[in-house]
Amino acid sequence: MCGIVGYIGPKEKKEILLDGLQELEYRGYDSAGIAIIEGKKLHNFKAIGKLKNLREKTKNYTSEGFGISIGHTRWATHGKPTELNAHPHLGAYSYVVHNGIIENYQELKEELQAEGVNFLSQTDTETIVHLFEKYHNRSNDAFPAFKETIERLEGAYGILLITEAAPDMIFFAKNGSPMLIGFDNEDVYFASSDTPLIGKAKEVYYLEDGEYGYVKDGQVHLFNKNEEIGFTKQTLTADKALAQKDGYRFFMEKEIYEQSRVMGETMMGRVLDDGIALDELDKDFFEDINAIKICACGTSYHSALTSAYLFERIAKIRCDIEIASEFRYKEPLLTGDTLFITISQSGETADTLEALKMAKRAGLKSLSICNVDNSSIVRESDAAILTRAGIEKGVASTKAFATQTMVLWMLALYVGQERNSISSDILRQEIDAMLHTPKALIVTDKLHAKLHRLSKRYLHGHGFFFIGRDIFFPLALEGALKLKEISYLHAEGYPAGEMKHGPIALADSELFTIALMPKTMHYDKIKSNVEELSARDATICAISPEPFDLADDFVQTQYSSHPMVEFFEMMVVTQLLALEISIRLGNDVDMPRNLAKSVTVE
């Protein structure tokens, strides 16, 4: 979703901003812009579409000497993706970039309009810059004017503001949208996530909600409420090489191939010979806990759904799953003996973060399962287990889903072990299956070639049904989500046993059924569900170790002794199928239309 970068110092600023925005590109955006002030000179460039359009517009410009600069990639919320709506937004002599949503912008806009201010865009952001200039015109003092501005804003924001009135300062504020400051000697950088700062800043400080301030003469002045406060920097350790494509056509493809390796990292030090060790959790973490509630969105929600089967079956603990955006407004009944788990790849998903805050207000203990350390969700939780998937750049989540599901499986075993609801024999069998998972995730040339070949038969039709039972139902949901995200074809996930309660009415030869038919779990049941579809002439693509006569297409997986191993192998098949269909349709696999990697607005 929207991305912010900023820099104050003597270096060439255009390239710093454009490079930074490039690193945020994978999050999804539909326009971009930069603004630079060097002494009395103001420069502002905006372009709709991809960053290459902005590069083209700025190709004859290079910044000179000391200056202040901000940049932004915008994912449209208020107003269409047009140049006028793109950030930075200009007042008479100041620019602002903003992530989040200013909830009271209509009221502020009307107030400013009544005072004669002319608005150029339809955005909520533009009110910030006009409000700032209103206060600055009165006091002629930039920082108090900025502070007064922030005090008027309601909602979520990460803000950078620069003004000709103070050409040696950058003003910043954070509330609900991520923002960090990067340091390299006297050079100071800003970004809405750490990737743009890798290779530039040596140390970083992650701003907390309610913090604001300014940078001048290489010094950051940080405030909370009315007090100037101190802060502690952290070393920025991420390795940029990990975020490159390594010869794969798309990040999503690379990330599918990486799953086998990263799964080893997810398990490292946690999956032991005779038990599960989660050093992240205090010994008594599950004391007084009698139920689990999990909140998440999208793919993360699907991993949560999978885990509900595991928590109840293995750990014998009640487990409810909720979509975060639904949970927030349903006035849920929460009891103190419930552990509240959030799952998020990015750790910044607005609905999940707000659900977590609600649960905390209700006094629940919280745990997050997340891929990004120091993200808002991790910082907000009582404890966090990191998935260790590495940076995921493809908008369609793959390795994040795999590692989330693995962590949840480990957690189910851990709970069983701590509550003595699992025998040591079963625990050992589960661990043995876990250790087979990396092998099940290997993408062989044969498998990839098979999915490439098959994909050409699935480029039309009036829809896909992915069907499965038990844990293969959430996998069916996830397979359908992957396909629709990057192919733009209609796909649904369904519990196989539900088809005859309605959806089977759609069955004909143009209805494609992707049937997940594991041998270790309810094979005969799902077989008869698929037979019912076949009898109505639906086109069947069966994924199973067991050859199936009625399949029009058949992808054979390995025989295995554990459903979770079959689960992970079938997951790879569905990911590759979506990838190959999308490539054949000529779509942008890594940045599908209308989607954002990190959904930081409600």
Among 28, 348, 13, 47, residue whose Cα is nearest residue 162: 13
Contact in structure between 598 and 347 (CB atoms under 8 Å): no
In angstroms, how far is CA 75 from the centroid of its own chain?
14
Q: Does 298 bind ligand F6R (CB under 6 A)?
A: yes
Q: How far is the CB of 469 from ligand F6R (least distance, A)?
A: 23
Instruction: Write down the catalytic residue from 147, 365, 393, 597.
Output: 597
Instruction: Write down the catalytic residue from 2, 297, 319, 541.
Output: 2
CA torsion angle for 241, 242, 244, 247 (degrees, to 10)? Answer: 100
Residue from 345, 417, 539, 544 touching ligand F6R (CB under 6 A): that is: 345
| Strand, coil or helix: 483 | helix
Q: Does 300 bind ligand F6R (CB under 6 A)?
A: yes
Number of residues located near ligand F6R, criterion CB under 6 A: 15
Q: How far is the CB of 396 from ligand F6R (least distance, A)?
A: 4
Element (H, E) at 534: helix 523-535
Q: DSSP per residue over 562-582, as a string?
A: -HHHHHHHHHHHHHHHHHHHH
Q: Does 376 bind ligand F6R (CB under 6 A)?
A: no
Q: Which of residues 424-453 bind ligand F6R (CB under 6 A)?
A: none
Joined together, the tokens standing for residue 215 give 């940078």
In the chain, the N- to C-terminal Cα span, in Å, equals 12
Nearer CB in complex with ligand F6R: 167/592: 592
Q: How far is the CB of 297 from ligand F6R (least distance, A)?
A: 4
Q: Does 485 bind ligand F6R (CB under 6 A)?
A: yes
Could you tell me which residues come within 8 angstroms of residue 44 by beta carbon, excluding any fewer than 6 positions away?
33, 34, 35, 36, 88, 90, 95
What is the spatial distance between Cα 557 and Cα 453, in angstroms, rounded to a whole number?
A: 16
Q: DSSP per residue over 230-297, as a string?
A: ----EE----GGGGS-TT-SSHHHHHHHHHHHHHHHHHTTTB-SSSB--TTS-TTTTTT--EEEEEE-
Nearer CB in complex with ligand F6R: 58/487: 487
Measured from each CB, the residue nearest to ligand F6R is 298
The window from 186-194, 195-203, 344-352, 433-441 that contacts ligand F6R (CB under 6 A) reads 344-352
What is the spatial distance between Cα 592 and Cα 602, in angstroms, rounded to a whole number?
A: 20
Q: Does 480 bind ligand F6R (CB under 6 A)?
A: no
Could you tell me which residues come within 8 angstroms of residue 209 by beta carbon, excluding any fewer than 6 positions away?
174, 175, 176
Q: Does 145 bind ligand F6R (CB under 6 A)?
A: no
Q: How far is the CB of 130 from ligand F6R (least distance, A)?
A: 33
What is the spatial distance between Cα 478 and Cα 578, in angstroms, rounded to a whole number?
A: 11
Q: Is residue 597 flagged as an active site residue?
A: yes
Nearer CB in complex with ligand F6R: 34/578: 578
Nearer CB in complex with ligand F6R: 58/371: 371
Q: Does 306 bind ligand F6R (CB under 6 A)?
A: no
Specify the pairing of strand 180-184 against strand 203-206: antiparallel
Neighbour count for residue 516 (Cβ, 10 Å): 30
Joined together, the tokens standing for residue 128 give 């910030």
Q: How far is the CB of 598 from ligand F6R (least distance, A)?
A: 6
Q: Does 349 bind ligand F6R (CB under 6 A)?
A: yes
Residue from 63, 299, 534, 544 touching ligand F6R (CB under 6 A): that is: 299
Q: Does 195 bind ligand F6R (CB under 6 A)?
A: no
Q: Does 599 bind ligand F6R (CB under 6 A)?
A: yes
Q: How far is the CB of 466 from ligand F6R (least distance, A)?
A: 14
Q: Does 255 bind ligand F6R (CB under 6 A)?
A: no
Element (H, E) at 15: helix 13-24
The window from 134-142, 185-193, 294-302, 498-506 that contacts ligand F6R (CB under 6 A) reads 294-302
Contact in structure between 219 and 212 (CB atoms under 8 Å): no
Q: Does 344 bind ligand F6R (CB under 6 A)?
A: yes
User: Which conformational region is residue 106 in: left (phi greater than 0), alpha (psi within -120 to 50 degrees), or beta?
Assistant: alpha
Q: How far is the CB of 372 from ligand F6R (least distance, A)?
A: 8
Residue from 260, 397, 417, 534 touching ligand F6R (CB under 6 A): that is: 397
Joined together, the tokens standing for residue 493 give 């996930």
Q: Does 193 bind ligand F6R (CB under 6 A)?
A: no
Q: How far is the CB of 475 from ligand F6R (least distance, A)?
A: 14
Contact in structure between 581 and 452 (CB atoms under 8 Å): no
Residue from 177, 193, 346, 534 touching ligand F6R (CB under 6 A): that is: 346
The window from 297-305, 437-445, 452-460, 570-578 that contacts ligand F6R (CB under 6 A) reads 297-305
Nearer CB in complex with ligand F6R: 129/323: 323
Residue from 177, 352, 366, 534 touching ligand F6R (CB under 6 A): that is: 352
Binding site for ligand F6R (CB under 6 A): 297-300, 344-346, 349, 352, 396-397, 481, 485, 598-599
Active site residues: 2, 597
